[in-house]
């Protein structure tokens, strides 16, 4: 039915289906390319740039770039690792991320990626920008301090929930997620069961009264690095 395409990632030959992105093909082959805004259930977005790879020596986002026959993709190079660390550090200093007492700690993709990429303290100065919180909703708590502007909530609400609860407003460093209401989150039609709530990669959107249902130490990334699930496939593919 679909045309098969062969290309290489870091010298490993991969077979992909025409129309797939580099990231989709890599995931299926059990090769993990770091990412934050990308999510398997959502359309590619390309905002965090953490999945930047070199395609025939040109930088491209693996999450939005389609595969083509014979392309030479480089991902695990020192140069790209450094760029990815820089991007993750940028997100850390842009927001106010307090890992030690964040409810999401251990389940947070930003934190987990920081660990995986070998990030220590950011070399960039913290911006300490002021951000709002919204606790108006009975079941949902929003803390813009921890938002990384990945748009997963915006996209999930549209693509998966059939709603339009969130959208970006402002531009540049003043860009932020706003709600479809004239007051607060409680005035929207959001529900705690929405995928938009579940798909937040960080501690920006939290379900109230669930913070420590799973204790710290037993969380998703406490025992294995982010991306391990994808890499586990590699053993099978091999």
Partner 1 sequence: MTENFEKAIREICSGNADDRTRMIDIVREVQQLFGQISGSAMDIIADAVNSHRVEVESVVSFYSFLSEKPKGKFVIRLCNDVIDKMQGVGKVAKAFQEELGINFGESTPDGKFTLEWTPCIGMCDQAPAALVNDKMMTRLSSDSAREIVKSLKENEDEYRLIHMLGDGNNANPLVNSMVSNNIREKGPVIFAKFEAGKAIHKALSMSPVEVIRDIKTARLRGRGGAGFPTGMKWEFTRGAEGDNKVVICNADEGEPGTFKDRTILTEKPDLMFEGMAIAGYAIGAKTGVLYLRGEYAYLRPFLENVLADRRNKKLLGISILGKTGFDFDIRIQMGAGAYICGEETALISSCEGLRGDPKNRPPFPAQKGYLTLPTSVNNVETFCCVAQILDKGAGWFAEMGSTGSTGTKLLSISGDCTRPGVYELPFGTTVAEMLVKAGAEDAYAVQMGGPSGQLIGEADFHRKICYDDVATGGAVMVFNNDRNPLEIAHEFMEFFCEESCGYCTPCRVGNELLKERLQVIINGKGTPDDLDYLEQLGKTISVASRCGLGQTSANPVLTSLKNFRGDYEKLVKENKDGMQRTFDIHKALATGEDLQGRKSVIYAE
Residues that bind partner 1 (CB under 8 A): 44-50, 52, 59, 61, 64-66, 82-83, 86-87, 90-91, 93-94, 123-125, 127, 148-149, 164, 166-175, 178-182
Q: Which is nearer to partner 1, 76 or 229 (CB)?
A: 76
Give the C-alpha separation, 178 to 140, whole Å. 15
Q: How far is the CB of 222 from partner 1 (least distance, A)?
A: 26
Q: What is the 3-state secondary structure (H, E, C) of 116-172?
A: HCCCCCCCCCCCCCCCCEECCCCCEEEEHHHCCCCCHHHHHHHHCCCCCCEEEECCH
Give the C-alpha separation, 59 to 54, whole Å. 4
Q: How far is the CB of 193 from partner 1 (least distance, A)?
A: 21
Q: Which is nearer to partner 1, 16 or 87 (CB)?
A: 87
* 15, 30 Cβ separation under 8 angstroms: no
Q: Which is nearer to partner 1, 103 or 158 (CB)?
A: 158
Q: How far is the CB of 232 from partner 1 (least distance, A)?
A: 28
Distance of CA 116 to the CA centre of its chain: 14
Q: What is the DSSP letter of 67?
A: P
- Coil vs helix vs strand at 216: coil
Q: How far is the CB of 61 from partner 1 (least distance, A)?
A: 7
Q: Which is nearer to partner 1, 8 or 82 (CB)?
A: 82
Q: How far is the CB of 218 from partner 1 (least distance, A)?
A: 31
Q: Which is nearer to partner 1, 64 or 191 (CB)?
A: 64
Q: How far is the CB of 152 from partner 1 (least distance, A)?
A: 14
Give the C-alpha separation, 205 to 228, whole Å. 24
* DSSP H or E run through 92: helix 78-94
Q: Which is nearer to partner 1, 25 or 48 (CB)?
A: 48
CA distances from 186 to 123, 138, 211 (A): 38, 8, 20
């Amino acid at each position: 039915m679909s045309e098969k395409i062969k290309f290489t990632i870091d010298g490993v030959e991969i077979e992909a289906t025409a129309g797939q992105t580099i990231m989709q093909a890599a995931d299926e082959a059990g090769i993990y390319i770091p990412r934050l805004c990308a999510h398997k259930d959502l359309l590619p977005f390309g905002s965090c740039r953490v999945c930047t790879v070199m395609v025939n020596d040109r930088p491209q986002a693996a999450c939005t770039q389609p595969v083509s026959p014979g392309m030479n993709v480089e991902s695990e190079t020192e140069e790209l690792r450094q760029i990815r660390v820089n991007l993750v550090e940028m997100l850390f200093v842009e927001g106010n991320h307090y890992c030690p007492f964040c409810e999401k700690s251990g389940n947070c993709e930003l934190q987990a990626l920081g660990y995986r990429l070998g990030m220590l303290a950011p070399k960039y100065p913290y911006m300490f920008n002021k951000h709002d919180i919204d606790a108006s909703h009975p079941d949902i708590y929003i803390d813009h301090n921890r938002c990384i502007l990945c748009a997963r909530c915006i996209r999930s609400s549209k693509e998966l929930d059939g709603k339009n609860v969130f959208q970006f407003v402002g531009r540049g460093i003043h860009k932020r997620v706003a709600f479809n209401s004239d007051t607060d989150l409680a005035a929207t039609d959001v529900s705690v069961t929405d995928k938009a709530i579940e798909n937040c990669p960080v501690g920006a959107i939290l379900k109230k009264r669930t913070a420590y249902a799973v204790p710290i130490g037993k969380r998703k990334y406490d025992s294995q690095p982010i991306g391990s699930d994808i890499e586990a496939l590699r053993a099978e593919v091999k």
